[in-house]
Amino acid sequence: MSDTSLEPLFICTETFGPWLGQRWYDYIKYSGLTQLKELVSLDAALCGPILEEIKDEYWPHIVNEDFMLDYFKDLDFLMAQVSETKRKNTLCVFRNPPLHPVAPTDTLKFEFLGYDLVDLFGSASALSNCGGFSNAFSNTEINSYGLLDTYERALEVQAALRANYPDEDHADCHNWALFRAVEP
């Protein structure tokens, strides 16, 4: 397993918000996250990757690790692949950073949105797609993007999930710092 904690990784995901109509309103009713204005997450079921197929030419530019094949190390290459997609979230992310990271600014400007706790399989966010874990966090702690605001709280919730829900697959999570590209 490579150390990606300090290396910025990039992914373009589908957007998920009120513009989706009934699907969004059904999600808000199910999740109880009424404070959301938009969900920005690495949860593949809710905010799936824009690039669904791994092409041969991607291999030199992606993280070659199980459950990480949607993450690119080369932002310019990723942007060339998604240039025709109008509605997307271009994210700079850090997996399990040892401290609050800083996004690069050489190609795009990124704004920090928060921390996501996504299971080790990359399939579900414990914050926004598991119905809540009341012994680890309150839904009221989740910000308007479906994330936790601080590094310290993300670490506390990550530890509480593992301690209080040891038999729940979605409670064993990576801590992801999410930055979104600011569109010009």
Q: Torsion angle of alpha carbons 54, 91, 183, 40, nearest 10°? A: 110
Handedness of CA 138, 143, 146, 151 (dihedral sign): negative
Residue in this structure with the two tokens 């997307």, named with its chain if needed: 88
Of all residues in the chain, the percent with pLDDT exceeding 70 is 97
pLDDT tens-digit map of 139-158: 999 999 999 999 999 999 99
pLDDT tens-digit map of 92-107: 999 999 999 999 988 8
Which one-letter DSSP state was computed for residue 37?
S
User: 82 vs 11, 26, 89, CA distance in Å?
Assistant: 10, 29, 11
> Please, are residues 179 and 91 in contact by the beta-carbon 8 Å criterion?
yes
Give the residue-averaged pLDDT of 103-121: 94
Whether 58 shows a pLDDT value over 80: the answer reads: yes
